[in-house]
Amino acid sequence: MAGSSYTDLREKLKSMMPYRDGYKGSSLRDPEEPPYGSTDRKRKYHEDSESEPSDYEERQREEEEAQKVKSGIRQLRLFSPEECAKIEARIDEVVSRAEKGLYKEHTVDRAPLRNKYFFGEGYTYGSQLQRRGPGQERLYPRGEVDTIPEWVHDLVIRKLVEHRVIPEGFVNSAVINDYQPGGCIVSHVDPIHIFERPIVSVSFFSDSALCFGCKFQFKPIRVSEPVFFLPVRRGSVTVLSGYAADEITHCIRPQDIKERRAVIILRKTRLDAPRLEMRTLMPGYASDRLSGSNRDPILKPKRSHRKADPDAAHRPRILEMDKEENRRSVLLPKHRRRSHFSSENYWRKSHGEDFEEEEEEEEEEEDGSPARKVKMRRH
């Protein structure tokens, strides 16, 4: 100690750890940087912490959104296994008649791992229109699809009316979606300018799930965590209205279709819903027609009799569904994509099996080119 030049232990410690002396003007500190103890540094740290929501805040937002979705869903278990079997036999008859070409051209719409059958009213959507995006969907001219089969009225609609799910005379559009294992419908909102609310669907053949607020990507296929995961049981009825129908997208994920599944979607078209003119369906009209902003969208050739290619659903392709400027609802913010709060396990635990059922609606399909990008759309 005699040889030491330090008379105060504090001075020796400062010489050994000069970075600790930054607040007193140490030469190691950047002169442009505020002192460590300054108010500016504290303010900057506070601002940075506010720019990125905490996990707790994200969970709170997810929970609020999920509650909004849940408030717009009603589910009932109305159809017994025996009633389901009877209806499923009728659905098989529809498939058989379609294979024999006994329906009108626009009644049947084929896609990989999913066929769609329009009755009462049919409409264009997805890749059928040259001008894409929400609000471009159009009803077909009257009479272009087959009428709703009597068995749908007798076995399905009548029971829904008896249980006051829908009023008498509400349904004028019935769509049957028939899925094979691995089939899916990408995130969408049923066209608000085409259909009244509520939207009613009844599920058959097997159990599945309806997911809200997902993002799809392909190459390979990927689906983000849902904001709300809704189990769908065979024979159950799902009624969508309010926030669940209008303000958030819903979808069917490939992993949720493990067996063949069919859903009958029952809706009412709006009186002011836009409708295609008959001349737009005439051969050669699309190629000869001049483009104009005040004209109807050009209808692409129908693919209703195209054979489904099971491998086509897994071709490399990319879907961009994050940009839907024309839709009045708000898509999910980026911070929701990382949250585990809305995982299906969480919702299964928190809501159990009492929230029974299921499914809704339609989709767009893209034809062709693996590299082509497709925006999400309502249908």
Which strands make up the sheet holding 228-232, listed edge to edge? Answer: 185-188, 250-252, 208-212, 228-232
Would you say 187 and 217 are in contact if contact means Cβ atoms under 8 Å apart? no
Judge residue 95's burial from the number of C-beta atoms within 10 Å of its C-beta, 0-12 exposed, 13-18 middle, 19 or more buried: middle
> Would you tell me how many other CB atoms lie within 10 Å of the CB of residue 214?
23
Q: Give the SS3 label for residue 130.
A: coil
Q: Give the SS3 label for residue 310.
A: helix
Q: Out of 103, 123, 125, 243, which one is annotated catalytic?
A: 123
Q: Token match 């994920």: residue?
A: 253
177-209 CB burial, b ≥16 within 10 A, e <16: bbbbebbbbbbbbbbbebbbbbbbbbbbbbbbb
Number of H helices, E strands in the chain: 9, 17
To the query of whether residue 123 is one of the catalytic residues in this protein, the response is yes
Left, alpha or beta for 304 (phi > 0: left; psi -120 to 50: alpha)?
alpha
Say which amino acid occupies 49.
Answer: S
- What is the 8-class DSSP label of residue 261? E
Q: How far apart are CA 174 and CA 251, in angstroms?
A: 19
Q: How far apart are CA 61 and CA 243, in angstroms?
A: 15
Contacts of 97 (CB under 8 A, 6+ apart): 103
Q: How far apart are CA 367 and CA 349, in angstroms?
A: 39
Catalytic residue IDs = 123
